[in-house]
C-alpha cells in the first residue's frame, strides 16, 4: 500500500494534474494576497471567482476570442473589487460582512445571468477552451514532457505572473506604497500619498486576478460552466494567504502543495477505495492544509493595518 | 526672510474649538517653540499646516506661496516636513523602504535604491544622523526610529521642520543628541517648529516661544527674555502651587517582589526578568524607564492581571497564591491604570456606576447579595464626587464625557476610598493640565502621609524627582536597585534608562536597603 502511494509520485499524470489543479488557486491566492497586503480582506473571492468563470466562458461562447475573454473576466473581477472597496475603503464598513455580501451577490448574479442567457440547456454547453501547446523538444522529453511541458498557454502565463507580482511588490515604488498601505496607512498620508486610491487600486487588481483564476476553470481546465463550479476554492485561497505568511513565493508553494494533496487523494481512492470510505480521501487535503496552517501561521507576520479602515483628518 | 505665515486659522471638532483664529510667523533659520498644555491645540495647528486637517478658516503661506488646504503632498512640495509624535513608520519594512516611500513616481518600474543610498549617506554625514538603512524598523530602538523620521523629512529636502513632542520617548542623552542635530540644521538655514510642554527643553533649544492655551494664541516671547516661571504662567494662565513633598520615615513593607519572572510569548525574551523590589509604608518609589521596557507588564502583575512564571510576591507579608484583580483589591491594592479610557472607566456607563464598581458585592450597595440598592449607591457616589471634587453635570452622565482630569479624579476616588495599603499609579497625570496634575499629586501625597506605599510609574523624570522618595529604573525587564532621589541626577538616571543599570550602584548609600 505504501508502495502504491510512492508509485503515484512516479507517474507523470500526477504531476500534470497537480499543476492543473494549482492554477486557479495560485491566481486566487495572489489576488487575495495583493488585497490583504494593502490592508483589505477580500472575502468576495469565492463569488468573484465564480463571476470570472462565468463571464470569461460566456464571452467565448458568444463568439469572443479566448484572450479577450480573459480580459473581460478581469474587468468583471475589478468591477466587483471596486464595489468592495467603495464599501470597505471609502466608507470604512466591516470587511468581513462586505466580502461575504460580495460573494453572495457575485455568485447569484453569475448563475442568474447564465440561466437567463441559456434557459433551455440541460447539459452545459461547451466552448473550445485553451488547448495544450506542443513545445518542440521539451514536450517530447520523457516524463518531464508530459508532467510539465504539456499544458495550455494560460497555465504558463499563470506561472509567469508569480515572479512578476513578486518583482512589482518588492522592487517598485507602487509595490512599496501598497505594502505600506497594509502596514501603516498614516505613513503614506504623511508622505503626501493617497491611501484610499492605493487601497482601491490594490483591491481592484487583486480581484481581477481572482476572476481570471476562476476563468481558468471554464476556459482551460474544463470547457463548460456549471453551478457549484468554484466549490470553496476561494476560501482555500484565503487560507493559503495565511499559510504563505502573506508572501507570494510561499503562496505559489502552498497552492502547489494543496493541489498535490488533492491530486493524490483522487489516485489513492483507486487502490484503497475498497476498504476506506472515499469521503475520507476527499477530506485529506483540507485536513492536511489545516495542519500545515497551524504550523505556518504561528510565525506569520501579518500586515499590521489589515482590517482597519483609514479615514483622513480623523482625530486619534 | 519669512519662511512661514499662518493667518487666522480656526478649526473646530464638533463643539470643541481646537484652534481659534491663530496667526503666527516663522523666520528662516529660527527655532520657534510652540508651548501649551495637552489639548491646547498645538498638534491640531501643525496638522492643518501639514495638510492632515482642513481648517475651517484661515490661510497658510510658505515662502510667500499659499498652500492648498488638506494636501500633504503640496505641503511636502513646498518644503514642509513633519516628524509626528506617533511615528509614521512600518515595523515590517526596512529603514530604507520607509524613507524612500513616496519619493518616486508610482508608475516607475524600478526603485532606484542605489541612488537613495548615496543621498542618505550624504545627509547622514552632513547632519550627524547615524542610521542603518537595511535594518527592519521593528528591530531598532525608539531613538533610532526618531532619527529615521527626521531623515525622512530631510530626504525630501524640507526647509521647515515640524517636530511634535519629539522628546517624549527619549532618554536625556538622546535629547541632547537630538538638540545637537537640530542646531546643525538651523545653522544650515532650516527653520524649525518645536512643539513641547517641557519648559526646560524649550528654554534650551528655541529662539522664540508662542504659547497656546485652549485653542488660542495667548502670548509670544523671545526665549532670552523668558524664564521657567514666566512660561509656566503663560501656559497655565494662573499660578500653580506645587504640592509640598515631605520625606517620612518608612514603615514595614506593603509589597515585596522576590525574583519575579514573567515569561514572554513563545520565542521572545521574558517581559520581567528577575525583578526584586520592596515598597514600604509612607514612601513613594518612582519607576523610570523608556516606554516599552516592561512597565506595563509590571503594572499588570501588580494589578493581579498576570501570574508570574516564577518568583514570589508578598502583599503585607502574605505570599500571594492566587493572582486575581479582586483578590488584590481585597488585599489592599489600589490601581490607577495607564490608559484611563481603556482600563480605568467604562465610558458608556454612568459616573455613579463607575464609582461603585470596585465595591460591588459589599453592603450596603447590595441587598440580599444580588440586588443593587440604588439609594445607597447614589449616596455612596455623591459622597465621593463631593469629597474628590469630580466635576460632572449629573452622576448619571456617561463617564466618557468627563474631561481627562475629572475622569482621573473619578478613578482616584474609587481607588482611594478603600484606603489601599499599596497604590500602583501608572502614568497618573499623562495628558492632564497643570491644575489637574497638582490635584492628582496632592491626593497621592495625602495617601502616602496616611501610610500607603506607592509605586509611581512615569516617563516624565521631572515628575519622579518631584514626588518620589526613591527611584528605580527598568530596562528590558530588569529593575535596578532603588536610589534616593537626593543622591542622583536626571543625567545619571538617563544613563541607566539607556541600559546601564549598574551605573546606579555607586549612588547607593551604605546601610540603606
Q: A184 or B242: which carries more pLDDT confidence?
A: A184
Size of interface A-B (CB pairs under 8 A): 90
**pLDDT for A245-263, tens place per residue?**
899 999 999 999 999 988 9
pLDDT of residue B383: 92
Q: How many Cα atoms sit within 13 Å of A206 on the Cβ side?
A: 37
Q: Domains of chain B, with CATH numbers?
A: 2-236 (3.40.50.300), 241-332+419-513 (3.40.50.300), 343-417 (no CATH)
Nearest of B36, B68, B72 to residue B51 by alpha carbon: B72
C-alpha to C-alpha distance for A240 and B250, rounded to whole angstroms: 61
Cβ contact (<8 Å) for A316 and B86?
yes
The segment with the largest mean pLDDT, out of A35-49, B14-28, B196-210, B309-323, is A35-49
Distance, C-alpha B326 to centroid of its chain: 28
Average pLDDT over residues B457-478: 90
Please indicate if any CB of chain B lies within 8 Å of the CB of A295: no
Contact A183 B88 (CB under 8 A): no
Report in angstroms the alpha-carbon separations of B132 from A39, B95, B122, B139, B508: 27, 7, 13, 11, 38
Q: Identify all chain B residues contacting A184, using CB atoms and an 8 Å cutoff.
A: 88-90
8 A C-beta contact, residue B351 and residue B381: yes
All three cell numbers of B154? 530631510
Listed by number, the residues of chain A in 152-191 with a beta carbon closer than 8 Å to a beta carbon of chain B are 171-174, 176-177, 179-180, 183-184, 186-191
Spatial separation of the C-alpha atoms in residues B421 and B363, rounded to whole Å:
21
Q: Are B221 and B229 in contact (CB under 8 A)?
A: no
Angle at B12 between CA B9 and CA B18, to 5 degrees: 75
Q: Is the pLDDT of residue B320 over 80?
A: yes
**CA distance linking residue B76 with residue B51, whole number of Å:** 9
Answer whether B95 touches A (CB < 8 Å): no
Could you state, in order of their start, the residue ranges of all structural domains in chain A? 27-114+152-297
Minimal-distance CA residue of chain B relative to A195: B102
d(CA A34, CA A81): 12
Residue percentage of chain B with pLDDT more than 70:
97
Which residues on chain B are in Cβ contact (under 8 Å) with A298?
266
Mean pLDDT for chain B? 89
Examine the pLDDT at B16 and tell me if it is beyond 90.
no
CB contacts of B102 in chain A (<8 Å) are: 177, 188, 191-193
Q: Per-residue DSSP letters for A157-183? A: HHHHHHHHHHHHHHHSHHHHHHHHHHH
Q: Do B90 and A184 touch (CB under 8 A)?
A: yes
pLDDT at B369: 63
Rounded to an integer, the average pLDDT of A282-310 is 83
Which residues make Cβ contacts (< 8 Å) with residue A181, sequence separation at least 6? A37, A38, A39, A188, A195, A198, A199, A202, A305
Contact (Cβ atoms closer than 8 angstroms) between residue B402 and residue B341: no
- Asked if the ipTM is above 0.85, the reply is yes
Return the C-alpha cell found at B171. 532618554
- pLDDT tens sequence across A43-96: 999 999 999 999 999 999 999 999 999 999 999 999 999 999 999 999 999 999
- Distances from the Cα of A219 to the Cαs of A214, A232, A260, B53, in angstroms? 9, 19, 21, 50
Across the interface, of B76, B88, B156, the residue whose CB is closest to A184 is B88
- CA separation for the pair A33, A183 (Å, rounded): 14
Say if residues A306 and A36 touch (Cβ distance below 8 Å).
yes
pLDDT at residue number B80:
95
| Percent of chain A clearing pLDDT 70 (strictly above) | 98
Mean pLDDT of chain A: 91
Which grid cell sits at B175?
535629547
Asked whether the predicted pLDDT for residue B143 surpasses 90, the reply is: no
Give the contacts of B193 (CB within 8 A, at least 6 positions apart): B4, B26, B32, B33, B34, B46, B160, B161, B162, B163
Its pTM stands at 0.82
pLDDT tens per residue across span B120-135: 999 998 888 888 999 9
Amino acid at each position: 500500500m505504501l508502495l502504491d502511494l510512492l508509485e503515484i509520485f512516479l507517474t507523470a499524470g500526477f504531476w500534470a494534474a497537480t499543476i492543473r489543479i494549482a492554477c486557479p488557486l495560485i491566481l486566487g491566492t495572489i489576488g487575495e494576497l495583493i488585497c490583504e497586503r494593502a490592508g483589505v480582506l477580500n472575502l468576495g473571492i469565492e463569488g468573484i471567482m465564480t463571476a470570472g468563470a462565468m463571464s470569461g466562458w460566456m464571452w467565448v461562447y458568444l463568439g469572443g476570442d479566448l484572450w479577450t475573454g480573459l480580459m473581460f473576466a478581469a474587468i468583471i473581477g475589478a468591477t466587483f473589487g471596486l464595489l468592495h472597496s467603495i464599501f470597505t475603503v471609502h466608507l470604512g464598513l466591516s470587511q468581513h460582512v462586505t466580502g461575504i455580501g460580495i460573494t453572495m451577490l457575485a455568485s447569484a448574479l453569475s448563475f442568474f445571468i447564465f440561466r437567463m442567457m441559456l434557459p433551455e440547456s440541460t447539459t452545459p454547453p461547451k466552448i473550445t477552451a485553451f488547448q495544450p501547446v506542443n513545445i518542440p523538444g521539451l514536450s517530447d522529453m520523457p516524463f518531464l514532457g508530459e508532467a510539465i511541458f504539456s499544458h495550455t498557454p494560460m497555465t504558463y502565463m499563470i506561472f509567469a505572473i508569480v515572479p512578476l507580482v513578486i518583482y512589482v511588490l518588492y522592487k517598485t515604488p507602487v509595490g512599496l506604497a501598497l505594502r505600506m498601505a497594509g502596514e501603516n496607512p498614516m505613513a503614506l498620508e504623511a508622505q503626501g500619498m493617497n491611501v484610499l486610491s492605493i487601497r482601491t487600486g490594490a483591491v481592484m487588481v487583486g480581484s481581477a486576478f481572482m476572476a481570471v483564476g476562476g476563468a481558468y476553470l471554464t476556459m482551460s481546465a474544463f470547457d463548460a460552466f456549471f453551478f457549484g463550479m468554484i466549490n470553496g476554492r476561494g476560501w482555500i485561497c484565503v487560507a493559503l494567504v495565511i499559510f504563505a505568511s502573506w508572501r507570494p513565493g510561499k503562496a505559489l508553494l502552498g497552492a502547489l502543495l494543496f493541489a498535490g494533496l488533492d491530486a493524490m487523494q483522487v489516485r489513492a481512492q483507486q487502490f484503497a477505495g475498497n476498504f476506506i470510505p472515499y469521503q475520507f480521501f476527499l477530506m485529506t487535503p483540507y485536513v492536511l492544509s489545516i495542519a500545515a496552517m497551524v504550523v505556518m501561521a504561528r510565525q506569520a507576520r501579518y500586515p499590521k493595518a489589515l482590517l482597519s479602515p483609514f479615514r483622513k483628518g480623523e482625530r486619534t | 526672510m519669512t519662511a512661514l505665515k499662518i493667518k487666522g486659522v480656526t478649526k473646530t471638532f464638533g463643539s470643541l474649538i481646537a484652534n481659534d483664529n491663530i496667526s503666527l510667523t516663522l523666520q528662516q533659520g529660527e527655532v520657534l517653540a510652540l508651548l501649551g498644555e495637552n489639548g491646547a491645540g498645538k498638534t491640531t495647528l501643525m496638522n492643518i499646516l501639514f495638510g492632515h486637517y482642513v481648517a475651517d478658516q484661515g490661510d497658510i503661506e510658505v515662502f510667500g506661496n499659499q498652500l492648498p488646504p488638506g494636501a500633504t503632498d503640496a505641503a511636502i512640495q513646498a518644503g514642509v516636513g513633519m516628524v509626528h509624535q506617533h511615528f509614521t513608520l512600518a515595523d515590517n519594512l526596512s529603514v530604507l523602504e520607509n524613507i524612500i516611500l513616496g519619493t518616486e513616481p508610482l508608475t516607475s518600474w524600478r526603485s532606484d535604491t542605489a541612488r537613495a543610498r548615496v543621498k542618505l549617506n550624504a545627509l547622514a554625514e552632513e547632519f550627524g544622523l547615524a542610521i542603518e538603512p537595511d535594518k527592519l524598523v521593528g528591530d531598532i530602538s525608539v531613538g533610532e526610529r526618531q532619527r529615521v523620521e527626521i531623515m525622512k523629512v530631510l530626504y525630501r529636502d524640507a526647509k521647515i521642520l515640524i517636530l511634535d513632542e519629539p522628546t517624549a520617548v527619549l532618554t536625556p542623552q538622546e535629547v541632547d543628541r537630538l538638540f545637537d542635530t537640530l542646531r546643525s540644521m538651523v545653522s544650515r538655514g532650516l527653520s524649525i517648529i518645536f512643539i513641547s510642554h517641557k519648559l526646560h527643553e524649550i528654554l534650551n533649544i528655541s529662539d522664540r516661544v508662542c504659547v497656546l492655551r485652549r485653542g488660542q494664541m495667548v502670548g509670544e516671547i523671545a526665549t532670552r527674555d523668558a524664564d521657567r516661571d514666566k512660561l509656566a504662567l503663560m501656559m497655565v494662565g494662573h499660578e500653580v502651587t506645587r504640592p509640598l513633598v515631605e520625606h517620612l520615615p518608612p514603615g514595614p513593607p506593603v509589597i515585596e517582589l522576590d525574583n519575579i519572572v514573567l515569561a514572554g510569548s513563545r520565542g521572545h525574551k521574558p517581559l520581567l526578568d528577575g525583578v526584586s523590589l520592596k515598597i514600604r509604608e509612607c514612601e513613594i518609589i518612582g519607576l523610570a524607564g523608556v516606554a516599552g521596557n516592561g512597565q506595563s507588564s509590571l503594572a499588570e502583575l501588580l494589578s493581579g492581571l498576570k501570574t508570574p512564571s516564577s518568583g514570589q510576591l508578598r502583599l503585607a507579608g502574605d505570599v500571594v497564591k492566587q493572582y486575581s484583580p479582586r483578590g488584590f483589591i481585597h488585599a489592599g491594592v489600589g490601581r490607577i491604570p495607564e490608559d484611563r479610557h481603556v482600563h480605568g472607566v467604562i465610558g458608556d456607563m454612568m459616573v455613579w456606576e463607575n464609582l461603585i464598581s470596585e465595591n460591588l458585592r459589599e453592603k450596603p450597595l447590595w441587598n440580599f447579595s444580588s440586588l443593587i440598592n440604588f439609594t445607597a449607591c447614589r449616596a455612596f457616589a455623591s459622597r465621593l464626587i463631593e469629597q474628590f471634587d469630580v466635576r460632572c453635570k449629573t452622576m448619571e452622565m456617561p463617564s466618557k464625557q468627563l474631561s481627562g482630569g475629572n475622569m482621573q479624579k473619578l478613578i482616584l476616588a474609587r481607588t482611594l476610598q478603600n484606603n489601599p495599603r499599596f497604590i500602583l499609579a501608572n502614568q497618573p497625570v499623562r495628558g492632564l493640565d497643570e491644575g489637574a496634575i497638582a490635584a492628582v499629586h496632592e491626593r497621592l501625597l495625602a495617601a502616602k502621609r496616611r501610610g500607603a506605599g506607592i509605586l509611581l510609574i512615569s516617563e516624565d523624570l521631572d515628575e519622579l524627582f518631584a514626588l518620589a522618595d526613591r527611584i528605580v529604573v527598568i530596562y528590558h525587564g530588569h529593575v535596578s536597585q532603588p536610589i534616593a532621589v537626593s543622591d542622583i541626577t536626571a543625567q545619571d538616571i538617563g544613563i541607566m534608562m539607556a541600559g546601564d543599570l549598574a551605573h546606579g550602584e555607586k549612588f547607593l548609600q551604605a546601610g540603606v536597603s
